Amino acid sequence: MPATVRRLLRILLNAARRVSLALCLVLVAAWVASHFVAVGFWHTPHGGRWRVDAASQRGVLLLEVGGYFDYPDPSWDRGGWWHAFSPGPLDTRAGWLGVRVVTERVVLSPHRRGGGRLRKMGWFETRRVTVAYGPLVLLTGLLPLAQLIRRKRAAPPRGLCPACGYDLRATPDRCPECGRAAAA
């Protein structure tokens, strides 16, 4: 493998480690905060046909995507921005490996709007993913942890004592600091 390719791979891996470490620290802070404050955000694109929710409560992150089918809900048409809300009690049960996926379909009954004609029946479907923070923190912390272990196991540079790191250029046979004999 050419040196330039190795250098590029090393740069990309170091960038990935830094991003992973930053994400891990953000997740730890959110995990701790979720035990004290329940926070939620939702977003509805223009048209109000579907909606994205994200909430954090009691050590669990909840992501939900849902939408009306057969007719839009005009109450959702607030358009384009993320809106904060205080979520009620969430179902914080996380399944195997801290992840739980639920799909729900609710049939909506016909209704009259503004004294007008009867609207047809539609349905609402939502997909909810509940993820415990623990596995997320573990996954994002693996790459920085592997780098830390690799650095600890790395051999000292040439010309230094492997035991104490003393410079052996003046006395290559034995370390004057710790007395260890040089390797043959």
128 burial level (CB within 10 Å; 0-12, 13-18, 19+): middle
Question: Would you kindly state where each structural domain of the chain is located, as residue ranges?
Answer: 36-138, 156-184
pLDDT band at 76 (very low <50, low <70, confident <90, very high): very low
Whether the predicted model's global pTM rises above the 0.75 cut = no
73 vs 42, residue with greater confidence: 42
What pLDDT is stored for residue 77 in this prediction? 46
155 pLDDT more than 90: no
The yes-or-no verdict on residue 21 having pLDDT over 90 is yes
Tokens 């802070």, located at residue = 29
The mean-pLDDT minimum among 35-44, 65-74, 92-101 falls in 65-74
40 compared with 119, residue with greater pLDDT: 40
How far is residue 175's CA from residue 184's CA, in Å, rounded to a whole number? 14
**Among 38-52, 57-71, 112-126, 157-171, the range of highest mean pLDDT:** 157-171
